[in-house]
Amino acid sequence: MSMLGSVAASDFRLSDRLLAWTPPRWFRVWMLWASRLGDGWFWLSAVVVLAAGGSECHRVLAAAAVSAGLANVVLVLVKERVRRPRPCDVFRRRHPEATLRFVPSDRYSFPSGHSLNAFAIGSVLALSFPPLAAPLLLVAASVAASRVVLGRHFLSDVLAGSALGALIGGLKAFRPAGIVAGERRLKMKETLDRLRLILETVPPRLLAIEDAEAARPVASEKWSRKEVLGHLVDSASNNHQRFVRGQLVEELHFPPYEQEGWVTVQRYRNEPWEAIVELWRAYNRHLLHVMAAVPESRYEHRVHSGSSEPVTLHDHMVDYVVHLDHHLAQILG
């Protein structure tokens, strides 16, 4: 018997047994929900979340869309070429209860479209958001397993679909160096443009706040506006050191920043509001100059802050402006 014949025979035996099996209710519910999520509901939710995010989320969304598009081109071409019937059709007489409750979008089984799309999209999201990799891949694996358990596909359909999907989605991790450099350059331009806009538009709004009002705690915050802006001065001070020292060595070890202590010992609440605003503006004008002057060749230098995981110099500069935006919204909100 040929290898393909052996695989087909194993597929038929496994599907025959699964269709005759009565699984525990919890397991069947899990498989039914996983299959329905694979219909597109889970990925549609991911699209909504990513669309509501910032530019980085939009780039991930675009990568996922390209991955899904490529996966479905491959799916149509291979299915039309192979034209393998589904197990629920092959065993319809032997297992009449295998009649599908949900009519599939096509008649053919190889490869599994649900598995292909689950891993094509799931791999992109997992590579983009490593902390979520395990639950994302669990969802993809559940979708794939459900297609076999429910009689929609043979095991080899699902394995082939999952492997193809992971390969297509994994292309995100193997982008040419030129593309990666271009993305970093674009992200830095967006970051510098954002900081430039902040320095042009925010200081007049800050100076419009009365000194007494700036000394009162911000709603739901223990810090006053003076202390929040003082914290941003401290952030500028610490990051100035990172941005300069991080260019001079490939691996910088920097002491941790104890934000509570810094704000407490400097007594920002007792300092004139206008003085804090002017200090913050002057420091960030200089940081804008420093950041714009960093050569791209040093973007990948790594900075360790205390015991935290190292972050590239490029990402430190991007995160600095994100952090700045967050606290300015607290002050002006």
Q: What beta strand segments (E) does 203-264 contain?
A: 251-254
Contact 58, 50 (CB under 8 A): yes
Q: Which residues contact 50 (CB under 8 A, 6 or more apart)?
A: 57, 58, 60, 61, 64
Domain limit, last residue, from 135, 152, 174? 174
- State the Cα torsion 122-126-127-132 to the nearest 10°: 170
What's the pLDDT at 313? 92
Secondary structure of 65-133 as H, E, C letters: HHHHHHHHHHHHHHHHHHCCECHHHHCCCCCHHHCCCCCCCCCECCCCHHHHHHHHHHHHHHHHCHHHH
Same domain, 157 and 22: yes
Same domain, 183 and 166: no
Same domain, 94 and 169: yes
Percent of the chain past pLDDT 70, that is, above it, reads 83
What's the pLDDT at 84? 78
* Cα–Cα distance measured from residue 306 to residue 316, given in angstroms and rounded to the nearest whole number: 14
Same domain, 160 and 224: no
Q: What are phi and psi of 201, to 5 degrees?
A: -110, -25
Instruction: Choose among 145, 140, 142, 78: nearest CA to 109.
Output: 78
| Residue 280 lies in domain | 177-332
pLDDT above 70 (res 27): yes
Q: Which residues contact 251 (CB under 8 A, 6 or more apart)?
A: 301, 302, 304, 310
Bigger pLDDT: 177 or 314? 314
Same domain, 108 and 204: no
Contact 296, 185 (CB under 8 A): yes
Domain limit, last residue, from 140, 174, 208? 174
Question: Across residues 258-269, what is the average pLDDT?
Answer: 92
* Cα–Cα distance measured from residue 120 to residue 150, given in angstroms and rounded to the nearest whole number: 22
Number of domains composing the chain: 2
What tens digit of pLDDT does each residue of 210-232 get?
A: 999 999 988 666 899 999 999 99
Pairing status of strand 311-312 against strand 302-305: antiparallel
Same domain, 24 and 143: yes
Contact 322, 271 (CB under 8 A): no
Same domain, 271 and 152: no
What's the pLDDT at 271? 95
Same domain, 164 and 226: no
114 band by pLDDT with thresholds 50, 70 and 90: confident
CATH of the domain at 324: 1.20.120.450
Same domain, 29 and 92: yes
When the pLDDT of each residue in the chain is averaged and rounded to a whole number, the result is 83
| Strands across the sheet containing 311-312 | 251-254, 302-305, 311-312
pLDDT above 70 (res 193): yes
Q: What are phi and psi of 60, to 5 degrees?
A: -65, -40
Contact 260, 310 (CB under 8 A): no
What tens digit of pLDDT does each residue of 174-187 get?
A: 655 555 677 788 88
What tens digit of pLDDT does each residue of 266-311 get?
A: 999 999 999 999 999 999 999 999 999 999 889 989 888 877 778 8
* Cα–Cα distance measured from residue 304 to residue 232, given in angstroms and rounded to the nearest whole number: 20
The DSSP letter of residue 239 is H
* Cα–Cα distance measured from residue 206 to residue 193, given in angstroms and rounded to the nearest whole number: 20
Domain limit, last residue, from 174, 191, 210? 174
Same domain, 162 and 207: no
How many separate helices (H) and strands (E) can be counted in the chain? Answer: 14, 3
28 band by pLDDT with thresholds 50, 70 and 90: confident
Least confident among 5-19, 28-42, 61-75, 105-119: 5-19
Q: Tokens 């025959």 appear where?
A: 16
What's the pLDDT at 19? 62
Same domain, 98 and 201: no
What's the pLDDT at 7? 60
* Cα–Cα distance measured from residue 265 to residue 229, given in angstroms and rounded to the nearest whole number: 15
What's the pLDDT at 66? 84
Same domain, 185 and 156: no
